């Protein structure tokens, strides 16, 4: 199939492009390089531009003629969304609606949407399944939930088939070491732990050890980026046979506390990793763990990297390579 990947220069999008190409699909990448990296675009034709521009998308759709769109391009930092909601609504809602205007006018064109566990807000049950109330507590979650609602309405009105995947904590890197996570600034736990081992990015902080969890630190469900992408591939096949506006939670189903992640990272890197306990970070729920049974059942999705050790090991290979550093990335962006 001809599949267009928005945000294909980003962390999850670049892993998706690799998997699609390996499975024989023709890939087109749309990215404005606001947070993505040129050197991560290796599997597909690049269209550089912003999805909020209708003229730009006219050209892309005319040239690439996609049969499906996988939409990863978005702002995705919870903390940033609290202080800059306008940017979040503009990128994540206005941008996505602009893309949907093009998708809905192409009969049969599939749409796969990157949603988030942040649509649920503070969990009411230990495991979060698809029926859990959606009550986001920050603008980031609200922008993603707005699009989930739009997708339901677009299927009803325009028969536009879609799947929304609510990611829990995406982590790890492709085992090849060719691509990985490289946010700037980095806010995620596993990259920050590994950065601290490499002496980059300052000391590691544990945000709160007074939560109502066994060791007092927050529990999250870490899911390997390639396992997330495998669900998208399975989702495309499912959508072809079952048109609708579907939604699935994607997680490992196992929660790990910040201290547990740190301890596994110490085993992976083979050294003690110092960390300072700091006050809680605003907006962090104590625990977020997915119930992903529905995706396994409907999509036939299985995990290739269920073990947290493997998730951290693949991330470590990538970080150790030094390819992630902003300085290197900027040089490569400028060079091309």
Of the candidates 122, 125, 176, 187, which one interacts with ligand UFG according to CB under 6 A? 187
Of the candidates 78, 197, 234, 311, which one interacts with ligand UFG according to CB under 6 A? 78
CA–CA separation, 298 vs 248, rounded Å?
10
Residues in contact with ligand UFG, shown as a per-residue x/- string from 94 to 133 under the rule CB under 6 A:
----------------------xxx---------------
Of the candidates 87, 284, 298, 310, which one interacts with ligand UFG according to CB under 6 A? 284
Of the candidates 169, 249, 252, 291, which one interacts with ligand UFG according to CB under 6 A? 169
Work out the angle at residue 41's Cα, subtended by the Cα atoms of residues 36 and 47, and round it to the nearest 5 degrees: 85
- Is residue 80 at the binding interface for ligand UFG, with CB under 6 A as the rule? no
Which residue out of 140, 211, 238, 248 is catalytically annotated? Answer: 140
The per-residue DSSP string of 20-84 comes to HHHTT-EEEEEE--SS--GGG--SSEEEES-TT-HHHHHHHHHHH--SEEEE------HHHHHH-
Minimum CB distance to ligand UFG smaller for 124 or for 187:
187
- Binding positions for ligand UFG, 210-229, rule CB under 6 A: 218, 220
Structure tokens at 334: 């400028």
Nearest distance, CB of residue 257 and ligand UFG, angstroms? 8
Whether residue 185 is preceded by a cis peptide bond, meaning omega within 30 degrees of 0, is yes
**Residue 167 known to be catalytic:** no
Q: Which stretch binds ligand UFG (CB under 6 A): 3-11, 177-185, 204-212, 230-238?
A: 204-212
- Is residue 194 at the binding interface for ligand UFG, with CB under 6 A as the rule? no
Structure tokens at 28: 């087109």
Q: Are 68 and 4 in contact (CB under 8 A)?
A: yes
The per-residue DSSP string of 214-238 comes to TTSS-EE-EEEHHHHHHHHHHHHHH
* Phi, psi of 31, deg, nearest 5: -155, 145
- Binding positions for ligand UFG, 287-316, rule CB under 6 A: 288
Minimum CB distance to ligand UFG smaller for 70 or for 74:
74
Q: Which stretch binds ligand UFG (CB under 6 A): 20-28, 94-102, 174-182, 199-207?
A: 199-207
Q: Are 314 and 179 in contact (CB under 8 A)?
A: no
Of the candidates 103, 239, 258, 269, which one interacts with ligand UFG according to CB under 6 A? 258
Minimum CB distance to ligand UFG smaller for 182 or for 189:
189
- Is residue 281 at the binding interface for ligand UFG, with CB under 6 A as the rule? yes
- Is residue 88 at the binding interface for ligand UFG, with CB under 6 A as the rule? no
**Widest Cα–Cα separation across the chain:** 57
* Phi, psi of 191, deg, nearest 5: -60, -35
Task: Please identify the residue of the shown chain whose CB is closest to the bound ligand UFG.
Answer: 218
Of the candidates 104, 188, 320, 326, which one interacts with ligand UFG according to CB under 6 A? 188
CA–CA separation, 18 vs 41, rounded Å?
9
Number of residues that bind ligand UFG (CB under 6 A): 20
CA–CA separation, 113 vs 109, rounded Å?
13
Three-state DSSP at 202 gives coil
Minimum CB distance to ligand UFG smaller for 32 or for 76:
76
Minimum CB distance to ligand UFG smaller for 277 or for 332:
277
- Is residue 76 at the binding interface for ligand UFG, with CB under 6 A as the rule? yes
The per-residue DSSP string of 112-136 comes to EEEEEGGGS-S-SSSSB-TTS----
- The footprint of ligand UFG (CB under 6 A) covers 76, 78, 116-118, 140, 169, 187-189, 192, 205-207, 218, 220, 258, 281, 284, 288
Give the residue numbers annotated as catalytic, written as ranges. 140
């Amino acid at each position: 199939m001809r599949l267009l990947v928005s945000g294909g220069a980003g962390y999850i999008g670049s892993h998706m492009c690799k998997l699609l190409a390996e499975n024989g699909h023709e890939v087109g990448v749309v990215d404005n390089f606001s947070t993505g990296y040129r050197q991560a675009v290796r599997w597909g034709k690049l269209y550089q531009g912003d999805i909020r521009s209708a003229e730009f998308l006219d050209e892309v759709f005319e040239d690439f003629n996609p049969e499906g769109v996988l939409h990863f391009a978005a702002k995705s930092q919870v903390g940033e969304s609290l202080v800059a909601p306008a940017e979040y609504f503009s990128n994540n809602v206005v941008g996505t609606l602009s893309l949907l205007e093009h998708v809905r006018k192409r009969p049969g064109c599939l749409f796969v949407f990157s949603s988030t566990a942040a649509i649920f807000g503070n969990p009411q049950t230990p495991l979060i399944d698809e029926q859990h109330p959606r009550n986001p507590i920050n603008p980031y979650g609200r922008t993603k939930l707005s699009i989930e609602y739009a997708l339901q309405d677009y299927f009803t009105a325009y028969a536009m088939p879609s799947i929304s995947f609510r990611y829990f904590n995406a982590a790890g890197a492709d085992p090849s070491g060719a691509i990985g996570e490289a946010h700037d600034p980095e806010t995620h736990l596993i990259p920050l732990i590994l950065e601290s081992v490499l002496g980059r990015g300052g000391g590691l902080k544990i945000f709160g050890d007074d939560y109502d969890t066994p060791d007092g630190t927050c529990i999250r469900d870490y899911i390997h980026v390639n396992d997330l992408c495998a669900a998208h591939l399975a989702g495309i096949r499912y959508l072809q046979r079952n048109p609708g506006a579907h939604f699935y939670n994607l997680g490992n189903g196992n929660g790990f506390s910040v201290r547990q992640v740190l301890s596994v990272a110490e085993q992976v890197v083979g050294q003690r990793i110092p960390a300072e306990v700091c006050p809680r970070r605003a907006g962090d729920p104590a625990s977020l763990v997915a119930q992903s049974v529905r995706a396994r059942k409907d999509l036939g999705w299985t995990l290739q990297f269920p073990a947290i050790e493997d998730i951290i090991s693949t991330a470590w290979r990538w970080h150790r390579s030094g390819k992630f550093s902003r300085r290197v990335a900027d040089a490569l962006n400028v060079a091309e």
